[in-house]
């Protein structure tokens, strides 16, 4: 599941492949930007912002979001793609490589000076230069919704997705339904930052410290299986901020109260 650590690694890989190179192919396969052409422009940098990717080319920024299935892959120029071509939403090619965004969402092209209208609403980025744990904790503490919902709100802190939030609340011993106003938000933010930083450079994410398949999580995806700490069966429910944003919630009824 793409979350802040996945986006960070993707941006780094794209930056290493494209930065400083002239664009020789530019193909955006979404209707509103289908006629855009940045060939001849230079890729300045690719940077992550929470779970968003910003590719700065010439005076413009190509913005994308991985959502659940999206991914950017880099191929040597002329190399056959290993993913069906109909899934491609954006192609940025140079004389050396082709960067292809498959099943990416929220594809936008805006002048770089207008980036803020796409990502300016985001809170402090857990893996970004703007990271501010005090501000993130302040925003969380002001939210009376269930803490699971509050942590997923990217306006409070940017980079956490559902897997991280479930694991984070288990590690902190907090029931997901508890209002964010009633928890130690400073401790929660500190653990979140350490957790995502520990996974930032890993190809295989782990929350338990065990990288073996099936051993990486405490509660996420483990409903009706015994808690790794106390043996109580993990429970599962759905929780959401709106009717269209339901997320699976996993918790141990003994370790999280």
pLDDT averaged per 10 residues in sequence order, the chain, 257 residues: 92 98 97 96 98 98 94 95 95 98 95 97 97 98 97 97 97 97 97 97 93 96 97 94 78 96
Q: Is 113 a catalytic residue?
A: no
Give the pLDDT of residue 203.
81
- Give the span between the Cα atoms of 252 and 229, in whole angstroms: 9
- Give the span between the Cα atoms of 55 and 149, in whole angstroms: 29
- Give the span between the Cα atoms of 161 and 245, in whole angstroms: 12
- For residues 235 and 221, is the Cβ–Cβ distance under 8 A? no
- For residues 174 and 249, is the Cβ–Cβ distance under 8 A? no
Nearest to 180, CA basis, from 255, 125, 241: 241
Query: 10 Å Cβ neighbour count for 153?
Result: 17
Which of the following is catalytic: 3, 115, 163, 167?
3
- Identify the residue whose tokens are 């190179």: 21
Does the model's pTM come out above 0.75? Answer: yes
Q: Supply the DSSP symbol for 82.
A: S
Domains of the chain: 4-120 (3.20.190.10), 133-251 (1.10.8.50)
Helix or strand (DSSP H, E) at 33: none
- Identify the residue whose tokens are 């979140």: 192
- Give the span between the Cα atoms of 255 and 234, in whole angstroms: 10
Q: Is 3 a catalytic residue?
A: yes
Nearest to 38, CA basis, from 23, 28, 53, 19: 23
- Give the span between the Cα atoms of 179 and 2, in whole angstroms: 26
Q: Is 202 a catalytic residue?
A: no
- Give the span between the Cα atoms of 21 and 45, in whole angstroms: 10
Which of the following is catalytic: 9, 51, 139, 222?
51
The length of the chain, given as a count of residues:
257
Q: Is 145 a catalytic residue?
A: no
């Amino acid at each position: 599941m793409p979350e802040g650590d996945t986006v960070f690694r993707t941006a780094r890989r794209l930056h290493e492949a494209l930065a400083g190179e002239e664009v020789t192919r530019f193909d955006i396969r979404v209707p509103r930007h289908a006629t855009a052409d940045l060939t001849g422009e230079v890729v300045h940098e690719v940077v992550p912002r929470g779970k968003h990717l910003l590719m700065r080319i010439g005076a413009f920024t190509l913005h994308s979001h991985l959502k659940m299935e999206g991914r950017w892959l880099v191929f040597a120029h002329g190399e056959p793609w290993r993913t069906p071509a109909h899934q491609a939403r954006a192609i940025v090619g140079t004389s050396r490589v082709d960067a292809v965004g498959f099943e990416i969402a929220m594809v936008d092209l805006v002048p770089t000076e207008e980036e803020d209208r796409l990502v300016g609403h985001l809170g402090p980025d857990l893996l970004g230069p703007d990271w501010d744990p005090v501000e993130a904790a302040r925003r969380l503490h002001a939210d009376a919704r269930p803490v699971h919902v509050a942590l997923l709100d990217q306006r409070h802190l940017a980079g956490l997705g559902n897997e991280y939030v479930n694991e984070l609340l288990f590690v902190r011993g907090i029931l997901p339904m508890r209002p964010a106003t009633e928890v130690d938000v400073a401790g929660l933010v500190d653990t979140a930052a350490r957790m995502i930083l520990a996974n930032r450079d890993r190809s295989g994410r782990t929350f338990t410290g065990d990288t073996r398949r099936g051993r990486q999580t405490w509660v996420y995806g483990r409903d009706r299986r015994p808690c790794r700490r106390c043996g109580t069966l993990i429970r599962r429910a759905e929780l959401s901020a709106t009717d269209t944003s339901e997320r699976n919630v996993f918790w141990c009824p003994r370790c999280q109260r």
